Amino acid sequence: MEVREISLAATTPLATDYINGTFPIEKGFSYSLQAEDVFWRRLDDIKGRAYPRRELVEYLRSYHQRFHASSETFYNIEKLIHPESVVVVGGQQAGLLTGPLYTIYKIISIIKLAKEQERKLGVPVVPLFWIAGEDHDIAEVNHVYIAEDRKIKKYVYPDIPQEKRMVSDVPLDHQVCSTWITNIVKTYGETETTNKLLDFLFQCLDQSKTFVDFFASIVLRLFASEGLVVLNAADVPLRAIESSFFTALIECHREVTDAVLRKQHQLRQLGYKNTLDIQPHCANLFYYDGRQRWLLEHDPQKEVFHSKKGEFVFSKDELIQLAKTKPGHLSNNVVTRPLMQEFLLPTLAFVAGPGEIAYWAELKEAFSIFGFKMPPVIPRVNITIVERSIQTDLAEIGIDIMDVFKGRLEEAKQQWLAQQTRYPLEEMFAKAKAEIEEIHRPLREFGMEIDRGLAGLLTKNATLLQAQIDFLQQTLQRALIRKYEVELRKFSRVEMSLMPNQAPQERIWNIFYYINKYGFNFLEKLLHLNYQWNGMHKIVYI
């Protein structure tokens, strides 16, 4: 594998400026990426903090035993007992088969940064992946994209409940899921790895009852030798550890909302659009009845918390009592999840995608309400994989990969097609249509002199003539495409591989296509490449 770095804008302007070092750090973050001592400073800042280390270790031991996690993972869990130990954390939804590639890249980023900082700082650093099991947007995680008949298809898991159930509670039907997996892998083609891959996935499925179980089982096996630790944010036993902080979030809900709204206003004045949708009445917590999550709002007149249409209503005391006795009925929203993470974990760094970077900037003042300091926000690595056949296609059609990223592939294709004929078709047909119009106009005028009632017929006749020229032009263009079909397919292959659906490859394709084609050591090779934390996009040639 060979790595080339290129500069690409992030998907949000704020993230782009943050990565480039042009964002005014003090306006949205506590630490600068450009500071060489950033992790030493963070280490000093969290030394005085108390964390529920023993309870967390006991919980993580129990959780990972369910998946027969590796000895390396249990070794990392035990590190958390050490009073100087810290974590590098990042998270994502529990996508089926791990979802798009960027989830894998985030895990790689977490592992690489944890190892690097453990060497530099001389303290235990644990790589931890926060599974957003409390999320209820099933449509974000219930599918993978496949390539079939030279088209990109969204292949959806069919057995989904209609309620807004937390992903951690969405059950998997093993028979349905086995068929779903088999059909996906079939589109990858038969290789030496295919049977091993299917065995791997079926073993993970055997350990799983829910979407989150399946995700956890897969990533713990894929990264077993790296000692990855996972945390299911929706697990009920974890809620018992979080109980006291849920109480604090209820007590300070107004302050949290006001802090975010103030920061959003400041960022708008700097020219950045707000990412979070938050209103003054937001309580920033969900109530979960076991089947559906209900976002809570606060009514200052009645001093109650309620779901949007009043299906559930709680006084402040009732909600606090719920937090103390049944915390499994509460869950965080996008605002309070980072705060809960900071309460639980001695976080050395938070590894973030570009969207997360943008919305975390809106949360800075909310951290300080609880005496917290926002951890360093480190952009995950962004990767595009270029297979050898795609390298060949790029060379043969004569375009650079930057042309693909900048959306110039279609333009390049049309230019190439125009060069294949000595006749300028567009120009010739435009000229022909103009000449026909010039000939036909006097005839229409003459016809109007004879009978003005013929106006509609004369216009229709002119339109039909022009339509025939359009038809002839389209026929010749299709003939050209058929003639050069082999060459034009190279453009299609490049687009499908590198910018499928006009989106970055890492947002569409799944890791198991590459594992099936190149073997399980493909992931190991990807993991052991030398990545620089410079915000540059990594092109990996294989």
The string of DSSP letters for 283-301 reads EEEEEE-SS-EEEEEEETT
Amino acid 86: pLDDT: 98
The structure tokens 């592939």 sit at 409
Q: What does the pLDDT read at residue 423?
A: 66
Give the pLDDT confidence score for residue 418 in this predicted structure. 75
CB-hemisphere CA count at 13 Å for 227?
Answer: 19
Burial bucket for residue 427 (CB in 10 Å: 0-12, 13-18, 19+): exposed
CA distances from 430 to 436, 437, 471, 479, 517 (A): 10, 11, 13, 19, 48
Among 50, 55, 51, smallest CA distance to 240 is for: 55
- Which run of H or of E encompasses 90? strand 86-92
**Alpha-carbon dihedral angle through residues 82, 83, 84, 85, given to the nearest 10 degrees:** 50
State the pLDDT at residue 8.
87
**Cα 165 to chain center, whole Å?**
21
pLDDT averages per 10-residue partition of the chain, 542 residues: 88 93 95 93 93 97 96 98 97 95 97 97 98 90 93 90 83 95 96 97 96 97 98 95 97 97 97 94 94 93 92 95 96 96 98 95 97 96 95 91 90 80 77 90 89 90 91 83 78 94 95 97 93 88 93
pLDDT of residue 488: 81
- Whole-number pLDDT of residue 381: 95
DSSP 325-362: H-GGGEEE-TTHHHHHHHHHS-EEEEEE-HHHHHHHGG
Count how many Cα atoms sit within 13 Å of the Cα of residue 387 in the half-sphere of its side chain.
16
The stretches of 189-210 forming alpha helices (DSSP H) are: 194-206
pLDDT of residue 272: 96
Q: Count of alpha carbons within 13 Å of 518, Cβ hemisphere only?
A: 18
Q: 90-101 burial string, b = 16+ CB within 10 Å, else e?
A: bbbbbbbbbbbb
Q: What is the pTM of this model?
A: 0.89
Residue whose entry in the numeric block shows the structure tokens 């009845």 = 289
Q: Where do we find the tokens 């995608």?
A: 353
**Rounded Cα–Cα distance for residues 119 and 479 (Å):** 62
Q: Do residues 300 and 253 lie in contact, with contact meaning Cβ atoms separated by under 8 Å?
A: no
Given this model, what pLDDT does residue 285 score?
Answer: 96
**Under 8 Å between Cβ of 353 and 106:** yes
